[in-house]
Every structure is written in structure tokens, then in C-alpha cells.
Structure 1
Amino acid sequence: MKNYTIILLISSFLILVNCKSRLINKTEETIGKINKQSVLIDQFKKNGRNDAFMKSKLYNYQNFEILEAEFFGDTLMRTQMKIYMKDSLMIKFEHYGLRGSDARLGKEKPYAKVFSEIYYFESPRKGILKYKEIKIKNFSAFKKAKSDLDKIKFEITEVNQNDYEMVLRNYVDLIQLHNKTN
């Protein structure tokens, strides 16, 4: 009975890993085709100050829409996002860069984190998150941490409808900001 339970657990784990890999591979294959065929339909750049800006580009291909956004805020924030929509379903949300921590944390707490997160959605209720980060204590460590991040393996977890809705709100906010500035 004990061996049967172990075999069942191992089989379940392998099936789960295979399903995750299949979703990621299928999505990446689709995105590869979209990136080759997509056409830039709109873009903007907004300078808030000399040390801050936001850029976005909107691409289209058949029933796909791609939104790229970049935020730069001197030494507190440098992030990029790339969001892929198929009809009204988000299929991929990629977000990476440098995100500052709360300045009130003190000298021993991390100043910021260099991160990469990629959401893949099969439906609004089901998806996968790949995530990795390195915490840094000062801005001078940013370039090294960015390089080191590439060497770290992603942590992979399943996500649900709450995660989808949170990420979708980011997309909606970006689209509204993009449309407001044009």
C-alpha cells in the first residue's frame, strides 16, 4: 500500500510538471509567431521629469494585442512589461526590472529587488507563474544583481482567478494611461 501511494504521488507530480511545461511551450510558440507578424499601431513616451519617464507601444496581429511598457524612475524603479492578449484573454504577462522597497525600512533592510515574473494563463481561472528575484541593499549592486538573476532558476507556481484579475488590472490601467496620453 505504501509503495502504491508513493508511485501515485510521483505519477501525479510528473503529470503536473508535464502540463505546466506544455502550457509554457505552447504559449511561447504562439508568441514567437505573433512577434514576427505583429504591427506597431501606437506608441508614446511621457517624461515626468528629467529622471523619470514612461514609454509604451501597442502592437496588433489578427486577434492578438501586445502592449509593451517601460517605466524609469532614476534609482527607485526601472521596470518593463510585455502583455499578450488573445481576444479578451491575457495569455502572457511578463514583468521584470528593479523595484524599490519602502524607504522607511532602514539600513539593514533591502533597498530594492531585481526581479523577473512571467504569468502564463490557460484561462482566467488557471495559469502558471515563473518568478525569481535578488534583493539588493544599494543601487550600486543593481547591474551585478541583474546579471546574477539570469543564472537563477525560476520558481514555478500555479495561479488562480485572483492572480489573473490582479494582472489584468495592471493591463487595464496601462491601456487607460496609454490612451490618456495620446
Structure 2
Amino acid sequence: MQDDLLFPMLTVEETLSFSAKFRLPRTLSASKKKAHTRVQALIDQLGLCAAANAIIGDEGHRGVSRRECRRVSIGTDIIHDPILLFLDEPTLGLDSTSAFMVVKVLRCIALSGSVVIMSIHQPSYRILGLLDRLLFLSRGQMVYSGTPDMLPYYFAQFGQPMPENENRTEFALDVIC
């Protein structure tokens, strides 16, 4: 998900409707009313109500914000309620507030029953608070797998006590690298 590949001339609602037509089961996509209901629910879930009728846009045409564009991309991926969702750097290129909002939406999706797996290279402290589990890799090898709360205890076992006022992921990455 490093790049948002969306049609710039479509609105947010049209983009999600287009995705619904191809990704929803035939029983739902054949019924325009059911597909429309799913699209409207998704617009609400993703916090896109204010942008529903705005075009996606591109370099030459002003459209929705980068944060909204990222949420529309996520919407096209989850329109069919996948059981498992893989996202590669869903916060790439976003400011910290926008990144937090995107991960907050993904957490809601996870709480609704989907398994969400994402790679984030430098999660902020606030984003860390939204995550259930972490997996740190170094040179292709797993270094840590567990909850964010257990991270300080893990590093303390190896003589690397984590300072209280430091971002846990930054500390872990500094020690690992």
C-alpha cells in the first residue's frame, strides 16, 4: 500500500462503489441497494462522510487530502470484509496525526473481526498504543514477538533496560540495529 492507486476523476463514493462492484460477492453486488448500503457504511466507518462527494484528484486536479486518499485505498481493500488484511506501510508519507488516524481506523477494522497485519517502519508512541502485537525483524530474523507492554521486560532480560521516557519502538530499533 505504499502508493494509492485510485482513479483521480472519481469521487470517494464512486471509487468505493466501483470497488464494491468487483469485490463484493455476486449476491451483494447484484443488488444495487445492498452494495450502496455497504458503501455508505464503509464511508461512515472510515470517517469519509465529509469527503464522500469530493473527487480523488491528482497533481493537476485538487481533490481529497492525502489522509483521506489513504483511507479510500483502505476502503477499496476492505469493501468485501476480508478475514485477513495485509498492509505495507499504510502510514507512509503521512504526518503523525494522519498516520495515527489511519491506524485508528485499522484498529476499528481489527476489532470488528478482521485480522490486520501491517508493516510500519517508525510507529509513534501514540500508534504503539493502538497495536495489540509487535514483531521486530533484523536481517530476516525475528528479534521480538509480543505485546507492546512486554517490550521493556524483553530488552531488560538482555541487559538493555529501556528508559521510561523514550519511545519503545525507537529504543528497540536502536538496540536491534
Tell me which interval the TM-score lies in, with the shorter structure as reference length: under 0.3
Structure number with greater CO (CA < 8 Å, separation at least 6) is: 2
Q: Which has the higher strand share?
A: 1
Normalising by structure 1, what TM-score? Answer: 0.23
Normalising by structure 2, what TM-score? Answer: 0.24
Q: Which has the higher helix share?
A: 2
